[in-house]
Structure formats: C-alpha cells, structure tokens
Amino acid sequence: MLLPRAWVRSSVFPFHEILRGRPTVSILERLREHDKLPPVALDSLHAERLGEHLKRVARVVPFYARTLAGTTIRSAADLAAFPIIDKRTIREHFAEFRASDWRGRVLTLETGGSSGEPLRFETDPVREASQLACKWRARSWFGLHVGHRELDLWGSPIETGKLSWQRRLSGDLLGNRLLSAFAMSEEKFAVWRDEIDRHGSDFLYGYSSVLARFARYLIAERRSVPTGRLRVAIGTAEMLPPADRAVMVEAFGCPVAAEYGCRDGGLIAHECPSGGLHLMHDAIHVELLDAAGQPVKTGEEGEVCLTNLYSQAFPLIRYRLGDLAVRSPTACPCGLPHPTLARLTGRSTDTLFRDDGARVHGLALIYVLRELPGVDRFRIHQKQLGRVEVSVVPGAAWSEERVGPDLVARVHRVLGAGTRVDVSLVSDLPPLPSGKHRYVICDIGESPEQKSARS
Ligand SMILES: [Zn+2]
C-alpha cells in the first residue's frame, strides 16, 4: 500500500512521530530555519546550545558530577574540563551516564559502531527525533521532503529476523521500502532495479559499497535509471571512493551524497549538492583531536570526538568515535552555514565470502555476533574461501560451552554451514597499523567467480 506523498508529509508522518513520542516535526522546522542563518549566527547559536548542554550534564549526570569534581561549568569554553571518553568508559560506568532529571522514555540500543566493539547504550525520543530531523533537513538540500519515497538497501533487521510487523507497517505507510543488502547477487540486483520502478522511489539510501556494486551491475546490464528519475543516492556507513561515486552517478542518473553518522553518536555530517560534507552544527559538537587529546589545526587529520547536543537521557560528552577526519579550511560554495569536513578517513567494512563464493557484506556478520553475551570485542578475519578466524575478547558472561557453539552457528547462518570457523580468545585487539580498529578483514581480493572466469 502506497499513500500519496503529500498525505504522508502532511498527516501520516506527523501522526507517526507523535505516536512514537518524538518531536521530529518541530525540530525539523527549526533546523531548516537554521540553514538560512549566516555562519556567524549559527556559530553563536551552536556555542550557546553547547554551553547550556554542558551546564545541565555537569549537574545531572553522575559520571560528570563525579569526574568534574567541583569545576564550575559556565559555558561552551569549559568543554576542555570534560574527560574524553570511549566505549570502554561507557561499558565500565554505564549506569552513571543516566541523567537523573530525565523522566521520559528511554530506549536501549546496541551498536557494532565502526570500531568493532559492541556497545550497549541508551537514548531517548528527543535525540532520536533530532537524528531523523537532521536526515530530512539534509535531504531537503536535494529537493526531498518527508513523504518522498525511500528505497533502503539495508540489512540488519531483515538479516537477524527482527523486522517487526509494526516496523513493516510504518515503513509501508511512510513510503519506505527496505531491501536486504546482504548476500548480494545478480538476481537480487535485477529485483532491486524492478523495485525502483514499482515502488516509484524518489531516492536510494544504503551502504556505499552496496550502492556501488548495484551501480556496476546496472551499467553492465544496460539498465541504468533514466536521468532525473531519482533525486539523489545517499551512501552511508562507509567511505565513498571517487570511482564508486562516478559509477553511481552514471547508473542512478542523479547526484550522489555521502552521509556520515553512527548509531551511538547521531547524524554527524551530510554532503550537500556542491559536494561539501557539512557538519550538523546545530545538533552536534565535533572536535578533531590528536593522540594527546589536543585539537588539531585546520587541515590536519584528527580523531572525531562527538558531543550530541540533543541527548537527554544518556548524554555523552567528548565521545571518541575512532574515525579520523580533516576540517575544511574553506567555506562551501553552496552557502549553507554549517562548517565542513574536507575528508573522512578510516571507515571501511570489508566484504566476506560465503562457502558458495557469494559476497556477503561484513556488517551481516557483525550484526549477529555483537548480540552474543560475553563477547566484548571481536575481529573477523577471512584469509581464504570456506574458512574464517574469529578473535574474541571475552567478557564476564563468556562461556566456552554455551556461547562458543552459538557463535559458530551464527557464522554458519551468514557464511554457510560449509565455512570452517576458528575461534580464538584474546586479551586485546590492538588497532591495525593501517586501518585503526577494523573488525572485518578479508584477504580474498576478488570473488571466486571472477577468478575462475579469468583462469
Ligand atoms: Zn555545501
């Protein structure tokens, strides 16, 4: 069932958000007003919001009340007094991050993040609403508005069998179509292409690598989308290499935009039609820090530390994401007031191979492993077809007898029962010299079909 776009925009979406207790519509209106501000005005609004947020957090979040120990927080300038935190800090002091003044609903979420350390954290409807509002604000830069139809090449809920009927129904009512992006094949790509027409999709949204592979298929099969049918293809979760971008523009007949965000942080940046990767300057505060925790100079690479200004229930200040980025020294020609990142590095997810040679997105395995009790961190390494090594940093709940077989069964579900799984317990998973904390590594360069085709 597909409803007219205008109905979705005027009635279904606002009602849906009210039912879920999310002030998305009002936040979105405010964010779109901020887009019209001059950069100086947005900067002062940002500083004011950050200052207010810090003052509240220092007062009501036990972790900060304790670590700041008597330091008075007056404004955004006092940010440096806050400790830099990471996933480990959250795991060790979980309950201490709960804001004592929050009376609203709390949602518990889990993420694999881009670093491969599973993390449980809490969020609230206001933060969730701000994330969705940030997405729609950025999409409006491409002429898209609530009600426009989204074709999602996504995966986790389908793969893990968690897509509830409520989510299916709300997706249908809102005009979203979710297709599983795992276990890609040519038959699937053909179905996706048909779905763009059947669904009347206005834009595509998915893992960058998946969109790129889909695009290459469309070009090879001469089934590219006519120019102008789609408004934009948004690639997320991974880096968007220039070569991938070029095939996507050709195959989808529309601009391509990168989205940068994470479940535990929020939407961080989104590309505009002029190619600037704009920070969501009115919703988050981003610091780029060196190894000593000091801000890097503009143009230098630093680690992204995030403060989400909308977090109510479980506020994280100066949260290290493990991603590296470079701030752009120049303003984007599009005229939006939000500062931009020149570059984002250190995010990648390798593809793995099933026992039958089919490609599987690395996240498919991450999604099913991160839910295991007793698995603090893990790394999956595939050196050859039909075999995979899983290194696990065990937590308190680890049990060789109970969790071990479950882990192997989950890998078999994703990579096929013919895959040999070698599990080893390790005390630590040091970052790799090249790619920081990669959690999926695949040494198989090309698919076996390609190899056999060449030989
Ligand atoms: Zn721009």
Model pLDDT for residues 27-40, shown as the tens digit of each residue: 999 999 999 999 99
Token digits for 96?
């201490």
Distance 171 CA to ligand 1 centre (A): 30
What's 225's domain CATH number? 3.40.50.12780
In sequence order, which residues have a C-beta less than 8 Å from that of residue 399 and are 6 or more positions away? 374
Same domain, 431 and 305: no
Task: Tell me which of 57-71, 73-87, 185-199, 233-247 is least confident.
Answer: 233-247
Distance 281 CA to ligand 1 centre (A): 13
Count CB neighbours of 107 within 10 A: 13
Distance 51 CA to ligand 1 centre (A): 26
Same domain, 449 and 392: yes
Same domain, 238 and 374: no
Which DSSP string do the residues of 173-196 spell out, in sequence order?
Answer: HHTEEEEE-SSB-HHHHHHHHHHH
Tell which wins on pLDDT, 383 or 44: 44
Residue 449: pLDDT band (50, 70, 90) is: very low
CA–CA gap between residue 327 and residue 367 (Å, rounded): 31
Provide the number of structural domains found in the chain.
2
Whole-prediction pTM: 0.79
Same domain, 319 and 367: no
Distance 262 CA to ligand 1 centre (A): 21
Q: Which domain holds residue 364?
A: 351-454
Same domain, 205 and 285: yes
Task: Tell me which of 33-47, 110-124, 191-205, 317-331 is least confident.
Answer: 110-124
Q: How buried is 74 (Cβ within 10 angstroms: 0-12 exposed, 13-18 middle, 19+ buried)?
A: exposed
Q: In the chain, what percentage of residues exceed pLDDT 70?
A: 89
Distance 333 CA to ligand 1 centre (A): 6
165-198: buried (b, 16+ CB within 10 Å) or exposed (e) per residue?
A: eeeeebeebbbbbbbbbbbbeeebbeebbeebee
Distance 79 CA to ligand 1 centre (A): 27
Distance 207 CA to ligand 1 centre (A): 22
- Domain end residue (candidates: 330, 345, 360): 345
Token digits for 250?
């050709």
Which DSSP string do the residues of 143-156 spell out, in sequence order?
Answer: T--BTB-EEEEE-H
Residue 159: pLDDT band (50, 70, 90) is: very low
Q: Is the pLDDT of residue 117 over 80?
A: no
pLDDT at residue number 432 = 54
Same domain, 324 and 446: no
Tell me the torsion sign for CA atoms 278, 281, 282, 288.
positive
Top-confidence range, 53-62, 201-210, 232-241, 423-432: 53-62
Pair 162, 110: CB distance under 8 Å: no
pLDDT at residue number 28 = 98
pLDDT at residue number 453 = 34
**pLDDT, mean over the chain:** 87
Distance 27 CA to ligand 1 centre (A): 21
- Domain end residue (candidates: 345, 374, 401): 345
Element (H, E) at 29: helix 24-34
Same domain, 233 and 155: yes
Residue 236: pLDDT band (50, 70, 90) is: confident
pLDDT at residue number 345 = 66
Residue 421: pLDDT band (50, 70, 90) is: very high
Same domain, 435 and 401: yes
Task: Tell me which of 73-77, 89-93, 435-439 is least confident.
Answer: 435-439
CA–CA gap between residue 19 and residue 132 (Å, rounded): 15
Quickly tell me which residue has 């790799």 as its tokens: 432
Pair 311, 319: CB distance under 8 Å: no
Distance 380 CA to ligand 1 centre (A): 37
Q: What is the mean pLDDT of residues 213-242?
A: 90
Identify the three-state secondary structure at position 11.
Answer: helix
Distance of CA 449 to the CA centre of its chain: 31
- At 279-336, the pLDDT tens digits run 999 999 999 988 778 999 988 888 899 999 999 999 999 998 877 788 999 999 999 9
- Domain end residue (candidates: 302, 323, 345): 345
Distance 153 CA to ligand 1 centre (A): 25
Distance 167 CA to ligand 1 centre (A): 33
Q: What is the mean pLDDT of residues 165-173?
A: 78
Token digits for 221?
């099969």
Q: Is the pLDDT of residue 273 over 70?
A: yes
Same domain, 333 and 415: no
Same domain, 338 and 357: no
Pair 321, 260: CB distance under 8 Å: no
pLDDT at residue number 113 = 47
Identify the three-state secondary structure at position 447.
Answer: coil
Task: Tell me which of 14-28, 110-124, 234-248 is least confident.
Answer: 110-124
pLDDT at residue number 44 = 97
pLDDT at residue number 438 = 66
Q: Is the pLDDT of residue 388 over 50?
A: yes
Distance 213 CA to ligand 1 centre (A): 27
φ, ψ at 287 (rounded to 5°):
-115, 145
Distance 336 CA to ligand 1 centre (A): 6
Q: Is the pLDDT of residue 238 over 80?
A: no
CA–CA gap between residue 126 and residue 116 (Å, rounded): 27
What's 426's domain CATH number? 3.30.300.30
Same domain, 156 and 182: yes
Pair 160, 180: CB distance under 8 Å: no
Identify the three-state secondary structure at position 439.
Answer: coil
Same domain, 330 and 373: no
Residue of 446, 439, 299 whose CA lies nearest to 370: 439
Distance 306 CA to ligand 1 centre (A): 21
Distance 274 CA to ligand 1 centre (A): 5
Tell which wins on pLDDT, 446 or 109: 109
